[in-house]
Amino acid sequence: YHAKNNMKAVSIYDAEYDPNSAKRLTVTGALGRAIREEQLVLFYQPKVDLKTHRVYGFEALIRWIHPELGFIPPSDFVPMVELSSWIYPMTLWVLEQTIKQCAMWRDAGLDLTLAMNLSPRNLADDRIVNDLEVLLKKYNVRGGMLEMEITESMLMSDPNRASRILERINKLGVRLSIDDFGTGYSSLAYLKRLPVKTLKIDGSFIMNMLESEQDEIIVKSTIHLAHNLGLDVVAEGVETLEVYDRLNSLECDSVQGYYIAKPMPIESVGAWLADYQS
């Protein structure tokens, strides 16, 4: 199946709505080639500390630049990859790129953290945490430069195994955060028993918080409860100055969103940083 997979533009979109179709196999089959032929890239989106207004780190977000189909966002292929065994090589690729980037920032004297996203399946066996340990050593990167984002659903299928793997990640000094918080079913009390340092409140609550009293109440109480449990809070999806200011007054710790910057290719990061900090 490595040979000549001539995907049609529509197949990607159709397949997303029918995850069991043969087309899904086409997409995931093409992923191996995408990795080998360097069609995958990471874009970087900054995170800003609300107390200091400084950029302290970035999140790496995957994109697929397909030779025929062009730019493919993660929502059009990651869900399908997650249903296949290709999720391991894809995550391993992201992990190595991320650690290499940390090493480059360290060599450039930049004090930045870099976050990557894990899939539920990545917590189902030890491979990624084994690779993490090997790659941190290989590139001589401190675990503290790296952050791993997991979603609440990842913890549900096999909580004991997942929490054992999270403990290993934590022992390597890598920070763990809960992504899209508020969209799943886990309680903060449960999360508090895991070695998680940060909650990222889902953008869907943030975007409407000035118009929807309900959303604002959810945001406000999540911040308070998280702080009382000793967790940091990041707000995703901050698109305006008004929301930025409101989160600041609610004592949210940091923000991420189009108001600060959209995810950008690595070539743009240096100039953007210099411009933002001045």
Provide the binding-site residues for Mg ion, judged by CB under 5 A. 117, 149, 179-180, 236
Give the phi and the psi of residue 59 in degrees, each rounded to 5: -110, 135
The correct pick among 11, 117, 177, 198 for binding ligand C2E (CB under 6 A) is 117
Give me the residue whose beta carbon is nearest to ligand C2E. Answer: 257
**Would you call 237 helix, strand, or coil by DSSP?**
coil
* Residue 146 in contact with ligand C2E, rule: CB under 6 A: no
Within 8 A by CB and 6+ apart from 198, the residues are 147, 175, 176, 177, 178, 231, 232, 233, 234
Print the binding letters for residues 91-110 with ligand C2E: x by CB under 6 A, - otherwise: ---x----------------
* Residue 215 in contact with ligand C2E, rule: CB under 6 A: no
Give the integer Cα–Cα distance in Å for 19 and 260.
34
106-132 residues labelled b (16+ CB within 10 A) or e (exposed):
beeeeebbbbbbbbbbbbbeeebbebb
Residues near ligand C2E (CB under 6 A), total: 23
180 or 215: whose CB is closer to Mg ion?
180
Q: Match 């397949």 to its residue by tokens.
A: 15
* Residue 239 in contact with ligand C2E, rule: CB under 6 A: yes
Within 8 A by CB and 6+ apart from 53, the residues are none
Print the binding letters for residues 9-28 with ligand C2E: x by CB under 6 A, - otherwise: --------------------
Give the integer Cα–Cα distance in Å for 184 and 58.
24
* Residue 258 in contact with ligand C2E, rule: CB under 6 A: yes
The correct pick among 147, 180, 215, 253 for binding ligand C2E (CB under 6 A) is 180
Give the phi and the psi of residue 268 in degrees, each rounded to 5: -90, -15
70 or 109: whose CB is closer to ligand C2E?
70
Residues in contact with ligand C2E by CB under 6 A are 45, 61-62, 73-75, 78, 94, 116-117, 119, 149, 179-180, 203, 236-239, 256-258, 263
